[in-house]
Amino acid sequence: ATPRREPGLSRRELLQASGAGLSLAALPAALAQAAPAAVRSLKASAFAQAIRPGESTEVWGFNSSLPGPVLRYRRGDVAQIAVANALPRNAGTTVHWHGIRVPNAMDGVPQVTQDPIAVGETFNYEFRVPDAGTYWYHPHQMSYEQVARGMYGMLIVDEDKPIAVDREVLWALGDVKLDAKGRQVDDFGRLQDLGGGGRLGNVFTLNGRQAGRDRRLAVRSGERIRLRLVNTATARIFLLDFRGQRPLVVAHDGQAVEPHPLPQGLLLLGPGMRTDLVLDCDGAPGDTYPVIDRRDRGYQIATIAYERKPAVRSRALRDPLRIEANALPEPDPVKAVEHFLVFEGGLLGRPAIGMVDGKPLKIPEIMRSRGLSWTMNYVAEHEHAMLHTPMFTFRQGEHVVLKMVNETEFEHPMHLHGHSFRVLRVNDRPTRFREWRDTVMVAPRGSVDIAFVADNPGEWMFHCHILEHAAGGMMGTVAVE
């Protein structure tokens, strides 16, 4: 076997190798300098983007950029963002700050926390960002169409003392459905998508452009990279394989987790979910490693390509990788009241029965009459939200254990607004890390138990982040009063 490491470098070589003399200790300051001035406005509009090379696709998005601008803050900052709507087709919109524990009025949910922003209007969002981490933003109005068209961006909140890395890389993963001419297929909201696996695109995207083996992440031997990943797809679930590389998981959904290798070497990233990885680049100059999505016949979404340059450092870094935890209220399962949420429905499996206006109906009939395909606790009314009939009402400060039971043949990444929760058990087995999340995958015929302190007053969405499923009935609210 050939040795994979470069021989040790002299101090001078090291300095040269690190480019602008960027030492690791100086990095947080350097990052702060590199950060663009705070974005204070987002304008939603249609514009053209070359998603596939040589094509022009009309997308909807923010500030004529796909993904929208990265919003970056420090923990505790007050974010002020004026959202202006200049969309076509008279489409109203809102912006939801996914994963941020905002005050209810700033949550961006039409009919629940605000009226949709009409074309020509502006809404001023203002909220403190209490927690560091990787978050994202997207509309909550017709989200299965607006997010699919390109309305999303990342929102990053820096820790007071970030872990020391050479560089950060942001990957917004997703997909789009394009026709042969590169136009977005206008088939949003079909019943088979609402009641099936959701609307899948036919082109994978990485930061708004076609993903593939030619999307090269150029790295240097010896570099330490923090890779912030978000799945912005409405329905596609990624199962990422960094074959030949050994990234460590350091955070899920913005919240620190005990650093650990990927279980079975794979990262499950459902719609709405985020993961922070730290990649110690231990390959040799000239090496290439694929990043593969195992869920879709092994599609290669990117290549990690080692530059033919000397190593950035001669010895691997040993700095701790543990991210400082956010101050989230710790749920006590012993004190908690246990609640259950059962999902039924979908176009496969035993036909479910749901209550509509107090009357039991079979899902196919509900689909015909209401366009709904799913029930939560046997109710097939996404008017939960519109009617302000919460699925659960919690006392402020109540400790909650919520057991989700999936009686369907489909996966559901379930998202709670306004709170983060601990994942206690998956399929009745205790989890290894009891990790904090705001979106958790519930397997077909599986269950997930979560726990949280319902401390944020207001009416909060609780829904499947396969956005077609949300539109098809997997959307309700919980109230904290």
- Burial class of residue 35, CB neighbours in 10 A (0-12, 13-18, 19+): middle
Binding Cu ion (rule: CB under 5 A), the pick from 464, 467, 471, 478 is 464
Give the binding-site size for ligand C2O (rule: CB under 6 A). 10
Looking up tokens 């206008």, which residue turns up?
Answer: 186
399 touches ligand C2O by CB under 6 A: no
272 touches ligand C2O by CB under 6 A: yes
Residue 196 CA to residue 345 CA, distance in Å, equals 10
State in angstroms the smallest separation of the CB of 355 from ligand C2O: 23
Q: Do residues 413 and 462 lie in contact, with contact meaning Cβ atoms separated by under 8 Å?
A: no
Binding ligand C2O (rule: CB under 6 A), the pick from 463, 468, 469, 474 is 463
**CA dihedral sign of residues 449, 450, 453, 454:** negative
Binding ligand C2O (rule: CB under 6 A), the pick from 68, 93, 98, 142 is 98
Binding ligand C2O (rule: CB under 6 A), the pick from 228, 399, 417, 437 is 417
415 touches ligand C2O by CB under 6 A: yes
245: tokens are: 């590389």
Interface with ligand C2O by CB under 6 A: which range of 256-264, 357-365, 424-432, 457-465? 457-465
Interface with ligand C2O by CB under 6 A: which range of 13-21, 61-69, 80-88, 458-466? 458-466
464 makes contact, choosing from Cu ion, ligand C2O, none, with CB < 5 to 8 Å by partner type, with Cu ion
Q: Do residues 228 and 170 lie in contact, with contact meaning Cβ atoms separated by under 8 Å?
A: yes
Binding ligand C2O (rule: CB under 6 A), the pick from 100, 273, 277, 461 is 461
The SS3 call for residue 143 is helix
Quick one: 384 or 417, whose CB is closer to ligand C2O?
A: 417
Q: How many other β-carbons are positioned within 10 Å of the β-carbon of residue 430?
A: 10
Binding Cu ion (rule: CB under 5 A), the pick from 402, 466, 475, 480 is 466
463 makes contact, choosing from Cu ion, ligand C2O, none, with CB < 5 to 8 Å by partner type, with ligand C2O
Q: Do residues 444 and 345 lie in contact, with contact meaning Cβ atoms separated by under 8 Å?
A: no
**Rounded to whole angstroms, what are the CA distances from 208 to 176, 260, 363, 369, 392?**
9, 29, 36, 37, 37
Quick one: 172 or 312, whose CB is closer to ligand C2O?
A: 172
Q: Do residues 343 and 404 lie in contact, with contact meaning Cβ atoms separated by under 8 Å?
A: yes
96 touches ligand C2O by CB under 6 A: yes
The amino acid at 268:
L
Helices (H) and strands (E) in the chain, counts: 7, 34
Residue nearest to ligand C2O (CB): 98
Q: How many other β-carbons are positioned within 10 Å of the β-carbon of residue 413?
A: 23
State in angstroms the smallest separation of the CB of 237 from ligand C2O: 15
Peptide bond into 261 cis (omega under 30): no
H/E segment holding residue 168 = strand 167-176
Stretch 137-166 residues interacting with ligand C2O (CB under 6 A)? 138, 140
Which of 230, 272, 229, 276 lies closest to 416, judged by CA?
Answer: 272
H/E segment holding residue 467 = helix 467-471
Quick one: 142 or 279, whose CB is closer to ligand C2O?
A: 142
State in angstroms the smallest separation of the CB of 368 from ligand C2O: 27
Residue 229-268 contact track with ligand C2O, rule CB under 6 A, x = bound: ----------------------------------------
Residue 170 CA to residue 134 CA, distance in Å, equals 10
Stretch 330-389 residues interacting with ligand C2O (CB under 6 A)? none
Quick one: 66 or 467, whose CB is closer to Cu ion?
A: 467
Quick one: 199 or 220, whose CB is closer to Cu ion?
A: 199
Binding Cu ion (rule: CB under 5 A), the pick from 199, 412, 415, 437 is 412
Interface positions with ligand C2O (CB under 6 A):
96, 98, 138, 140, 272, 415, 417, 461, 463, 465
Interface positions with Cu ion (CB under 5 A):
412, 464, 466, 469
